[in-house]
C-alpha cells in the first residue's frame, strides 16, 4: 500500500486554492455603467466572476406597471429611487412607499413586487448582495 505524505499534499491543495482565488479576484475590475436602459429591468452587475456575488441593474416602470413578484432568496436588496414614486408590496411585511431620492431595503427571503403607482415614470437602481447565510 502506497503512503502519501500528508503535509506536501495539503500544501499543494492550499496553494492551488490560493491561485484559483487570486485568479478570481484578478477578474474583478472597477467599472461604470450607463443607466440609459430603454425600459423594464436591465441587469448591469451580474455576479461572479464580475463581482464577489453582488448583482445590480436599473428598472424603468411606466405608471401602473410592476416588475412582478419575486424573492430575494438568501440575498438582501437595496432600491435607490431616482425618479417617480411607487410601492414595494412584501409578503409578511408592511408595504414601503417609494419616492425619488430614497433608498429602500428589502431583507433576505422576502417575496416582493415593485409597482409604479404614480403618474410619472418610476426609475430606480437595484443592488442585490449575498448574505453570510448564503455562503453556508
- Residue 36: strand, helix, or coil: coil
Query: Considering the domain boundaries, does residue 15 fall inside one?
Result: no
**Structural domain count of the chain:** 1
71-101 confidence digits (pLDDT tens):
989 999 999 999 999 999 999 889 999 999 9
Q: Is residue 37 scored above 80 in pLDDT?
A: no
Question: Which cell goes with 58?
Answer: 436599473
pTM, full prediction = 0.70
Does residue 99 belong to any structural domain of this protein?
yes
Cell, residue 132: 453570510
At residue 7 the predicted structure's pLDDT band, cuts being 50, 70 and 90, is: very low
User: Is residue 88 a part of any domain in this protein?
Assistant: yes
Domain presence at residue 2: no
Residue 77 sits at φ, ψ, to 5 deg, of -135, 140
Return all residues near 3 (Cβ < 8 A) that are at least 6 apart.
Answer: none
Q: Give the residue numbers spanning the domain of 62.
A: 40-135
Integer angstrom CA distances of residue 120 from 49, 63, 66, 96, 124: 36, 6, 13, 18, 13
Amino acid at each position: 500500500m502506497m503512503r502519501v505524505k500528508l503535509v506536501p499534499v495539503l500544501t499543494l491543495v492550499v496553494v492551488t486554492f490560493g491561485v484559483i482565488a487570486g485568479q478570481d479576484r484578478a477578474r474583478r475590475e472597477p467599472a461604470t455603467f450607463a443607466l440609459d436602459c430603454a425600459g423594464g429591468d436591465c441587469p448591469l452587475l451580474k455576479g461572479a466572476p464580475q463581482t464577489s456575488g453582488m448583482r445590480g441593474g436599473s428598472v424603468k416602470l411606466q405608471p401602473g406597471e410592476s416588475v412582478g413578484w419575486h424573492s430575494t432568496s438568501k440575498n438582501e436588496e437595496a432600491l435607490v429611487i431616482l425618479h417617480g414614486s411607487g410601492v414595494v408590496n412584501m409578503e409578511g411585511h408592511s408595504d414601503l412607499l417609494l419616492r425619488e431620492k430614497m433608498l429602500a431595503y428589502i431583507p433576505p427571503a422576502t417575496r416582493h413586487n415593485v409597482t409604479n403607482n404614480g403618474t410619472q415614470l418610476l426609475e430606480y437602481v437595484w443592488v442585490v448582495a449575498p448574505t453570510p447565510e448564503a455562503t453556508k
